[in-house]
Every structure is written in C-alpha cells, then in structure tokens.
Amino acid sequence: MRRYFSAVLITAALAGPMSACTAEVRIYDAPHRDSHRWNESEERAYRLYLQTRHREYVEFQRLSRSEQEEYWEWRHAHHDRDKDREGR
C-alpha cells in the first residue's frame, strides 16, 4: 500500500506543473487493477463526476485514496470508461 500511495504522490508532483494540454499522466486504479490515462477526456469526466455530486473542484491528485477509489467506481460504471484505459 505504501508503494501505491508513494506512486500516486510522485505522479501528482510531476503532473502538477504541467498543463493538461501538453501532459498525459497514467494513474493506476488499484481496486480494478488497471491504468487510466489522465488527459483532457478524463479531466472532463472527473469534472462531470464532481458536478453530479455537487462537489467543489479539487485536483484529483489531492483527493484521499478513498475519494479517488470512489471516483474510479463511478468512472467504471459509465459507457465510455474503456476509451482511456490501458492494459486491455
């Protein structure tokens, strides 16, 4: 678990200074054992998720692990979920 958390923190640190237009970050979804490209498409989906939950925007990398997992549960339940997945 510590390695997973460390990997997320490192990814967040590297992704922070880059703009969404030029960078593409891969995030590992441990409960589902797959990776997702965090790009403009995923950012739009995340913002939709926040909107449907009536939540303020917070960078995904700043969410707690349980909040990130909640997002991935929601994301896997939507029809375009496979578009940005890797490893399948």
Express each pLDDT in 16-74 by its tens digit: 554 445 567 899 888 889 998 999 999 999 999 999 999 999 999 999 999 999 999 99
- Tokens matching residue 27: 């995030």
Looking at residue 78, what is its pLDDT?
81
Starting from the edge strand earliest in sequence, which strands make up the sheet with 85-86, in order?
A: 25-29, 34-38, 85-86
Distance (Å, whole) CA 72 – CA 5: 16
pTM higher than 0.85 for the full model?
Answer: no
CA 4, 61, 73: angle at the middle one, nearest 5?
75
- Residue 7 pLDDT more than 80? no
Looking at residue 20, what is its pLDDT?
47
Q: Side chain identity at 26, as an amino acid letter?
A: R
